[in-house]
Amino acid sequence: MPQRAQAVFLKTELQTGLTFAKVALESKDPNKILRNTLNARKAYDTLLHFLKEAELNNADQVKVQQLLRKLKSDLLELGQSF
pLDDT digits 0-9 by tens, 3-62: 789 999 999 999 999 999 999 999 999 999 999 999 999 999 999 999 998 999 999 999
Contact 52, 68 (CB under 8 A): no
How many Å apart are CA 70 and CA 21, to the nearest integer?
10
Domain ranges, ordered by start, for the chain: 3-76
**Res 4: pLDDT:** 82
Q: What are phi and psi of 72, to 5 degrees?
A: -60, -40
Rounded to two decimals, the pTM is 0.93
Q: In this predicted structure, what is the pLDDT of residue 1?
A: 66
Give the angle subtended at the CA of 42 by the CAs of 3 and 54, to the nearest 5°: 15
Q: What is the rounded average pLDDT of the residues 51-79?
A: 95
